[in-house]
């Protein structure tokens, strides 16, 4: 039966490239370990179950090049295996301790005891510590659409003074996606959902057919599209764009009305890493600094202080996730029916979220998706999940409209990434980008050590351009680390530039050290920066 409309869920999975071989343990590497344990493996377990049981789901995921690089890195994979082993051991101890000392938490401790083992088995035994292989399985099954992002999530609207730098972010991302999945990506998540007119020329060169925009990217396009965000548009540059549906997005992420704030869900900010005696958790804090471990015994409870949070009940939380999945489906059916009555084609509701919302921030998020895909498959015929290429194949005729510059950041433009707290970085990034183009022009056929240095200079520039550093400076989290990363990559690039222009000696041990430390994109070719 032909549905009245379609739902296009999109999860943007990205982390900055963090890898510190010079130290045995590094706090920021745990961003990756948390995401694997709480988001990526739980999502894979959901998709595996759906695929095995014949549930016809569709999901689009960005797997950014830095994230893919870390998931494939032997050092980081080894460190994650050690991390998940420690979690399993701690959960064993907690199951015994709570049974003896805090019986109100004993059932939840047993849940973690089982859950961490399930995650470890999936990661290590099922997929051989290779999550790229896991995602590729669902891509090849035709259920998961995997798209790329900027090579290092560089914020493209603030890079357009050096067009070659924008081009490099797109083409390197395309090539690395092909290296990981054996095929070029059809779509791209523009970093920070940041669009600027003219970026299409680089997307078309890379073979990119479509992307996604914040709602005002379509509603304020010229001329204004007839169907708002509920049908794709084609930009004058020849790339299709789908716009975010704010109603379905708000139901999930809104702090006021979104599902994750429900009182029965797990409380994120109350974690045993802060609460147990240090000797119980010292293995996780080699630097002596407390932080979240991932074992949490309390529920949201309500608008109360952390001291007043009540014990988490896993069974109640899962029941609530099923109820919210039904509510979300009913709202989409109601929405689709209203839209379809006035459109010349079935509407599409595109709902994008940060992937880490599902599992890391909202612990029950993967359960919600599991219930939702099953309900959409078994319980109704009005709406069907879909990917952008499938929709565009069925309805290829799109209105032509020019989107404005836009992002999904606060207030919709660039102030998150350009403000008094981080504006100092851009003169350095622009100069380094200009110098990289100069180097590529001066050395069109480099060999040996010179070629290695040119490739490493490109890596250092790319890593400095990561939008994550400017974002962290704005949000005031690990600010000193973000500043240091920016300064370090610019300094390393500057050394290589000076050496390649004859100002200082080009020393092989220094190049080798940088290659080992910042080893992203081993097959990168610096000539991607050659002026056109």
Phi first, then psi: what are they for 311, rounded to 5°? -60, 145
H-type alpha helices, 234-282: 246-253, 272-275, 278-281
Residue 389, both tokens: 């290429």
ω into 424 cis (within 30 of 0): no
Tell me how crowded residue 415 is: count the other CB atoms within 10 A of its CB: 12
Contact 133, 157 (CB under 8 A): no
- Read off the tokens for 508: 């092989």
Pairing of strands 240-243, 233-234: antiparallel
Task: Report how far apart the first and last C-alpha atoms of the chain are (Å, whole number).
Answer: 50
Q: Which of 192, 264, 356, 518 is catalytic?
A: 192
Q: Which of 28, 92, 330, 354 is catalytic?
A: 354
CB of 285 within 8 A of CB of 278?
A: yes
Strand partners, 72: none
Distance CA 337, CA 352 (A): 21
Contacts of 359 (CB under 8 A, 6+ apart): 38, 39, 42, 43, 365, 366
3 state SS of 405? coil
| Cross-strand partners of 195 | 406
What does the block give as tokens for 333?
Answer: 């059916």
Q: How many other β-carbons are positioned within 10 Å of the β-carbon of residue 222?
A: 10
Is 192 an annotated catalytic residue? yes
Q: Is 354 a catalytic residue?
A: yes
Structure tokens at 368: 């919600």
Q: Could you tell me which residues come within 8 angstroms of residue 383 by beta carbon, excluding any fewer than 6 positions away?
A: 3, 4, 5, 6, 7, 329, 332, 333, 336, 349, 376
d(CA 414, CA 471): 11
Q: Where are the alpha helices (DSSP H) in 443-531?
A: 448-464, 467-475, 479-500, 508-517
Residue with tokens 């209203």, as numbered in its chain: 338
Known catalytic residues are 192, 354
């Amino acid at each position: 039966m032909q549905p009245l409309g379609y739902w296009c869920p999109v999860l943007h999975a990205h982390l900055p490239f963090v890898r510190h071989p010079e130290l045995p343990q590094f706090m920021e590497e745990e961003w990756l370990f948390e995401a694997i344990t709480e988001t990526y493996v739980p999502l894979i377990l959901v998709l595996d179950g759906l695929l095995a049981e014949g549930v016809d789901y569709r999901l689009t995921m960005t797997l950014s090049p830095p994230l893919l690089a870390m998931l494939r890195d032997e050092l980081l994979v080894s460190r994650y295996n050690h991390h998940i082993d420690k979690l399993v051991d701690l959960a064993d101890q907690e199951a015994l301790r709570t049974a003896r000392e805090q019986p109100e938490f004993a059932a939840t401790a047993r849940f973690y005891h089982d859950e961490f083992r399930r995650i470890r088995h999936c990661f290590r035994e099922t997929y051989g510590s290779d999550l790229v292989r896991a995602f590729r399985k669902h891509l090849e099954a035709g259920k998961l659409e995997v798209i790329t992002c900027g090579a290092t999530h560089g914020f493209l609207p603030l890079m357009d003074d050096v067009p070659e730098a924008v081009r490099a972010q797109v083409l390197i991302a395309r090539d690395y996606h092909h290296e990981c999945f054996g095929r070029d990506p059809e779509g791209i998540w523009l970093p920070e959902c940041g669009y600027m007119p003219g970026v299409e020329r680089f997307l078309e060169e890379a073979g990119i057919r479509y992307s996604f925009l914040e709602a005002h990217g379509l509603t304020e396009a010229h001329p204004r599209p007839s169907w708002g965000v509920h049908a794709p548009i084609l930009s004058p540059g020849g790339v299709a764009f789908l716009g975010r549906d704010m109603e379905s997005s708000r139901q999930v992420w809104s702090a006021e009305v979104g599902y994750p704030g429900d009182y029965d869900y797990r409380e994120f900010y109350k974690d045993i890493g802060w609460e147990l005696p240090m000797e119980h958790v010292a293995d996780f804090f080699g630097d002596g600094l407390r932080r979240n471990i991932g074992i949490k015994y309390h529920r949201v409870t309500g608008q109360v202080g952390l001291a007043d949070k009540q014990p988490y009940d896993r069974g109640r939380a899962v029941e609530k996730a099923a109820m919210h999945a039904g509510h979300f489906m009913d709202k989409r059916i109601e929405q689709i029916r209203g839209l379809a009555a006035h459109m010349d084609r079935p509407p599409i509701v595109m709902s994008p979220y940060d992937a880490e919302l599902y599992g890391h921030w909202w612990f029950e998020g993967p359960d919600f998706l599991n219930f939702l895909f099953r309900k959409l498959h078994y319980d109704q015929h009005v709406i069907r999940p879909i990917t952008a290429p499938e929709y565009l194949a069925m309805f290829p005729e799109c209105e032509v409209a020019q989107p404005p510059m836009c992002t999904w950041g606060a207030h919709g433009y660039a102030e998150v990434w350009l403000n008094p707290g981080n504006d100092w970085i851009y003169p350095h990034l622009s100069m380094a980008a200009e110098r990289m183009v100069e180097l590529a022009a001066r050395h069109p056929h480099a060999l040996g050590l010179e070629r290695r240095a040119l490739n490493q200079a490109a890596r250092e520039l790319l890593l400095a351009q990561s939008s994550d550093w400017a974002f962290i400076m704005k949000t005031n989290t690990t600010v000193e680390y973000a500043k240091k990363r920016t300064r370090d990559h610019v300094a390393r690039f500057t050394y290589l530039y000076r050496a390649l222009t004859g100002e200082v000696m080009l020393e092989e041990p220094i190049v080798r050290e940088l290659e080992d430390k910042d080893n992203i994109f081993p097959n990168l070719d610096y000539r991607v920066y050659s002026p056109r």
